[in-house]
Structure 1
Amino acid sequence: FIRFSPIEVRFALVSLFNIILNSGIVPEDWCISLIRPLYKNKGSKEDANNYRGISLISCIGKLFTALINKRLADYVNNNKILGQEQAGFRSNYSTADHIFVLNSIIG
């Protein structure tokens, strides 16, 4: 939605994000999520096991955390902070590759 917004909105968000980064103060509403049950579309609606929780969070807060995550991931990858053996939660890495290697070693 940001890419389709007026340039003034994008500049305002950049200013807001820079203020947050410089001050270290994150809006309290961005730190709160509401967890709502979501039916899995299988089984009885009366059975609580047929629901999963979904967190509803601030869209702007989510955008901010995505930008921080991108910066951190780039920094970690560019500075080779994590070894090749660390695959979880990294782009272009798969824990399935490690499982394959482990299975090959074990035999």
Structure 2
Amino acid sequence: AKVFRPHRKEDWLTCHNGVIYTPPADGENLKEHAPNFYRWLSHSAGGHARKMERINAALFMVLANRYDWQLFIEVTGTGGSGKSVFTGIARLLAGEENTTSGTIQDMDT
């Protein structure tokens, strides 16, 4: 049904990231209700709304396990631009059991 909902074993999900799902409240938004995330997102995107949407889409792809999109997420930028924070958020969303890392050399093999 492609509905975002709490973890259920009946959905054949074998692990849980430990974050308890709660439906959004009426009027809930990132800027007011997740101010630290919003500040990081704005900083990482240089304040550009379209870039913020793309970063959110990439994180949604990780959260929803959208492997069917057949996309590779490449995160680049100068030091202090939010790459490590993005990686940390993605690891939280996917769960440690579903996370690995590699090097550019690993991609050649």
Q: The TM-score by the shorter chain falls in which range?
A: under 0.3
TM-score by length of 2: 0.25
Q: Compute the TM-score of the two structures, normalised by the length of structure 1.
A: 0.25
Greater helix percent: which structure? 1
Larger radius of gyration: 1
With CA pairs under 8 Å and 6+ residues apart, which has the higher RCO, 1 or 2? 2
